[in-house]
Amino acid sequence: MAGFLKKLIKPLDLPLLAACLLASAAGMVLIFSALESPPAGISQSRYMIVQGVATAVGLALAVVISLIDYNFFRPFTKFFIPVGAAALVLTGLFAPEISGNHSWIDLGITYVQPAEFIKLLYIVTLAAHIDKLGDDINRPKNFIFLLLHAGVYIAGVLVEEDMGMATIYILIFVIMLVSAGLRVKYMLLAGAPVVAALPLIWTFVLKDRQRFRILTLFDPTLDPLGYGYQVIQSKTAIGSGKFFGAGFMQGVMTQTNMIPAKHTDFIFAVCGEEFGFVGCLAVIAILLFIVGRIFYDTKKSTDNFGRMILVGVSAMLLVQAVINIGMCIGITPVIGITLPFFSAGGSSMLSVWLAVGLVLSVLRHRKKNWQEAL
C-alpha cells in the first residue's frame, strides 16, 4: 500500500498541489466569514457543504485525471469542438436568465455552469490544433482556421450573453497563440476589424446593463446606487481594512451585507476588509505561485501538446484572477468573474481542480511519445 501511494504521489508536482489546497482552504475560511451574516435566502451551511464537496471531489478527480495519459484525449479533440459548442448554444437558448445571462442549468438540487467545464475542452482542443500545425502556425490559412476554432466556442458563450466568460475564452486564445509563436501582426490584423466595429458593438450589440458596467468602471458615481454600487462598496471595504484588517468575522461591511456578492465575485473585498493589505497580498501571492508554477512546469513537458495544455490552464487562472481582483479594486469592469479557488461556487471550484488534474497528467506522462501512447 505504501509503495502504491509513493508511486501515485511521486510524479505529481507537490508544491503546486499544496498551493492549490491552501488556496481552497483559505477560500473556505473567507466564505464562512462572508456568510456568517448571510443575505436573505442564502444558507451558510449549504454553501460550505457545496464548496467542501466540490473541493474534495475535485481533488479526487484531479488525481484520477493525472493517471490518464493526456495524449488519450488527442484523437477525440475533433469531436470535442462541436460537442462543446453545441452545449454552450443549448445552454444559452434554454437556460433561465440569472444575473442577466443564460449560463446556468438548474439540476434541482444545485445549479451548474457548463461554460466552466467546457473551458477545459476548449484548452485541450486548441492545444491539439496548435500542436498539429507546428511550425506552420504562421501561415495565414492556418491562423484563419484557428480563429474559426476559437470563434465556435466564443459564439456559443455569447449566445448565453455572458460577456465575462467570453472575455476569458478570448484571452486564453490570445495567450496560447502568442506562447505558440504566432506573429503579433496576425493578432493585430484580427483585432483591427473588432476595434473598427466598436462603435457599432457599443450601439447595437451591448445592452444597457453592459454599457453601464463599462461606464461605471471610469466613474462609479455615475450610478452609485446601481451599477457603480458594487465597485464603490468593494473599494470602501478593502480600504477600511488598512494593513492588517478588522479581523476574522469582524468586518463591518462584510457582516452587515454591505458588499454585494460578497461570497462569490467580491470575496477579495471580504479578504481586504477582514485581513487587510497583508491578507490581500497573501491571496495574490498564492495565486501567482500557482500560475507561475504551471508556467515553470511547461519546461518539463516533452511535447508541444502537453506544453500548450499547461499554457492554457495557467492562462485561464491568470486571466480570471486579474479580472476578478481588478473588479474588486475598480480597474476592470464588473463582469461576473469568480476568483479561482477562493470564490464560492461548485462549478467554479470543480472546474479549476479538473484543470489542475490536466496539469498533473501532463507532468506524470510527459516522457511518453504520443504515437506510442495511443
Residues 310-336: what's their mean pLDDT?
A: 95
In one-letter notation, the amino acid at residue 293 is R
**Is the model's pLDDT at 155 over the cut of 90?**
yes
Q: In this structure, are residues 357 and 66 in contact, taking their beta carbons and an 8 Å threshold?
A: yes
Q: What is the pLDDT of residues 21-47, one digit of tens each?
A: 999 999 999 999 999 998 888 889 999
- Measured CA distances, 208 to 162, 199, 211, 227, 303 (Å): 14, 14, 5, 11, 46
Confidence band, pLDDT 50/70/90 cuts, at residue 206? confident
**In which band, very low, low, confident or very high, does the pLDDT at 373 lie, cut at 50, 70 and 90?**
very low
* pTM summary value: 0.93
Given this model, what pLDDT does residue 10 score? 60
DSSP code at position 203: I
Surface-to-core class of residue 132, CB atoms within 10 Å of its CB (0-12 exposed, 13-18 middle, 19+ buried): middle
- Integer Cα distance of 44 and 32 in angstroms: 7
In the predicted model, is pLDDT for residue 244 greater than 70?
Answer: yes
d(CA 46, CA 233): 26
What are 220's three cell numbers? 462609479
Average pLDDT of the segment spanning 269-277: 97
Q: Does position 187 have pLDDT exceeding 80, yes or no?
A: yes
Confidence of residue 1 (pLDDT cuts 50, 70, 90): low
Tens of pLDDT, residue by residue over 338-363, are: 999 999 999 999 999 999 999 999 99
| Res 374: pLDDT | 40
Q: 220-229 pLDDT, tens per residue?
A: 887 787 778 9
Distances (CA, A) of 306 to 69, 185, 364: 10, 26, 11
- pLDDT at 146 exceeding the cut of 80: yes
What residues contact residue 338 under an 8 Å CB cut-off, 6+ apart? 264, 265, 320, 324, 345, 348
Q: Domain extents for the chain?
A: 12-373
